[in-house]
Amino acid sequence: MADFYTPREWLQRRASNNGYSDQARAQAQALLNVVGDGWDVDRRFLDQEKYSSPGVTRKTDGGFFGIGAKDHGNYSNGFSTYEVNRLILPEMKRAYEADYNVWKNDPDVRKQARSNTGGYYNQPTQNTARNIALANENLRLMPNELKRIDEAERNKYANIDNDYNRLSDNLENNWK
């Protein structure tokens, strides 16, 4: 798979790309926390050993100050060992193979991948640039929006004042 993403690069790209659903990104991040480049899951995670790793937590519940607490084992990004190893890993492997086959069989995709100088960081960088441009545009438009709000407030109070004057005139006319 020369020149194609390694599994960890592919997972990183999937976890940080807003084009995927939140669930797919969470699953990719869960795998990214515990797999290597050969799709091998960390043995300590699978064997339910207590260890410290970013994104890996240990779930326990009940008990009083840890006494009598039930240990539920290791969790990666909210997914249990079983979910990571038996459900998410096979699905992600299949998706990775599908992406690789598209890349391998389509010269246009390979050429586009080579032309992206940013590699797998390219899409998140584009998203960040797009978000900054939108924020700048919103900041540029903000004075006009505030002026419009001020005008609307003035009109609202003017209408209330006009309604009050009209109703009080009607009241005076009715008493005459």
pLDDT tens per residue across span 12-26: 988 988 888 888 899
Contact by Cβ (8 Å): 7, 37: yes
175, 13, 3: which is closest to 92 by C-alpha? 13
Strands (E), the chain: 56-61, 70-76, 79-80
pLDDT at position 176, please? 66
Contact by Cβ (8 Å): 113, 103: yes
pLDDT at position 117, please? 45
pLDDT at position 90, please? 92
Residue type for position 175: W
pLDDT at position 99, please? 86
pLDDT at position 93, please? 92
pLDDT at position 52, please? 67
**Cβ burial, residue 97 (10 Å; 0-12/13-18/19+):** exposed
Residue type for position 67: I
pLDDT tens per residue across span 112-136: 655 554 444 455 555 666 777 777 7
pTM: 0.55
* Ranges of the chain whose pLDDT falls below 70: 1-2, 51-52, 54, 58-72, 109-129, 176
DSSP code per residue over 114-152: HH-TTGGGHHHHHHHHHHHHHHHHHHHHHHHHHHHHHHH
